[in-house]
Copies of this chain bind each other. A is one copy, B any other.
Amino acid sequence: MDQVAEAAGVSRATVSRVINGAPSVDAKIREMVQRAIAETGYVPNVAARSLVTRRSNSVALVISEPDRPDNHSFLNRIFTDPYFGRITAGATGALRPHDIHLVVIPTDSTDHHQVIRYLRQGHVDGVLLISSHEQDTLPRQVHELGIPAVVSARPTSPIAVSFVDVDQRLGARLAAERLLTRGCRRPATISGPLDIPSGLDRLDGFRSFLAQRGFTDVPAVEGDFTRAGGEAAARRLLAEHPELDGLFVASDLMAEGALRAVQDLGRRVPDDLAVVGFDDSSAALDCRPLLTTVRQPVEEMAAEMAEVLMAHIATPGRLPRSVTFQPTLVVRDSA
């Protein structure tokens, strides 16, 4: 930087001003400095800058999942699930124009303390926290740290933190309505894990809407948001309730598996059994027949999380805000 200053015949302070785009620099001098920068090939040292500005220009994407028996499959599951992929894509897209980078940190409860330590050290300016399961203590811990944070769903315990969510119950209702509209009279559902709020909300939303319409004792089987889990759940459900004619599956991945099971068992979709998924991920298009599903705009939601986080970073005292997205029904062939 001294070299640049000397080459341009100005002081270090002026070089700094030019680099940071301060408006109060004379156009001629600005140009001279820029030429000097180009000639010397000068690149600012980010560590030195961070030291004084207290900014790192990066944020963490912390993906908190329940413990897994083995670490390998844990990582693999996370990074292979299209849901997390869409989150990453959405967040990256929103952050990039602001030149903010993303540090991806998967975690389960066994290494919460490492994550917390990382965050405390000031590596990042804020956190996007993807946490779904009920008992997860990480949102609270992060909140207590005082670092800017946005969570991916309404926290289960009431903490004053910003979050972005989709109206889960409305989504479930859209699915239920679609099934009824098609003429289904024996609806059932494969839910997500019931220790996850979104799993619970979708189940509850589905059932309570149907109850209003006079359908009680709607069968439900708990799934685990994987294809294999969906397939197994569908087999179980049809074994116990062969009369079913409509099925709401709480994720597209599970729906893909369920569709397979249903067809293996000789049911035609949608004629014998109509199936509605949830997510509208790429998996919906991998199904045959193409999956009718409830669209959750995951990329937009992640982008919104990023925007809210950046706002928090820019103005520290800012009050938490929550944003709820509306799901929509995407009608294809399966229902």
Instruction: State the A residues within 8 Å of B (CB).
Output: 43-48, 50-51, 54, 56, 58, 71-72, 75-76, 78-80, 82, 84-86, 88-90, 92-93, 99, 101-106, 114, 117-118, 120-123, 227-228, 256, 260, 281-282, 285-286, 288, 299
Nearest CB to that of A256 among chain B residues?
A: B286
Q: Is the CB of B93 within 8 A of A75?
A: yes
> Are B121 and A92 in touch, CB under 8 angstroms?
no
Known pairs A85-B85, A101-B118; list 5 more (Cβ under 8 Å). Answer: A47-B51, A75-B89, A80-B82, A99-B114, A227-B286
Residues of B contacting A85 with CB < 8 Å? 76, 79-80, 85
CB distance from A235 to the nearest CB of B (A): 14
Q: Is the interface of A mostly helix, strand, loop or mixed?
A: helix
- List residues of chain B with CB within 8 A of the CB of A281: 80
Cα–Cα, bound, A48→B121 (Å): 11
State whether B104 touches A92 (Cβ < 8 A): yes
The count of identical subunits is 2
C-alpha spacing A330/B76, complex, angstroms: 19
Counting from the closest, the 4 A-B pairs by CB-CB distance are: A79-B85, A47-B50, A75-B89, A47-B51
Q: Which residues of B contact A92 (CB under 8 A)?
A: 75, 79, 104, 106
B-chain residues with CB within 8 Å of residue A89 when the two chains form the complex: 72, 75-76, 78-80
CA distance A78 to B90 in the complex (A): 12
Q: Whose C-beta in chain B lies nearest to the C-beta of A43?
A: B120
User: B102 near A72 (CB under 8 angstroms)?
Assistant: no
Contacts of A43 in B (CB 8 A): 117, 120-122
Closest Cβ of chain B to A53, distance in Å, is: 9
Whether the Cβ atoms of B78 and A46 lie closer than 8 Å is no
- Is the pair B121, A44 in contact by a Cβ cutoff of 8 Å? yes
18 A-B pairs with CB atoms under 8 Å apart are A43-B117, A47-B51, A47-B54, A72-B89, A72-B299, A75-B88, A75-B90, A76-B86, A79-B85, A79-B86, A79-B88, A80-B89, A88-B104, A92-B106, A101-B103, A102-B103, A103-B103, A104-B104
A1, chain B: closest CB distance, angstroms: 13
Cα A50 to Cα B51 with chains together (Å): 9
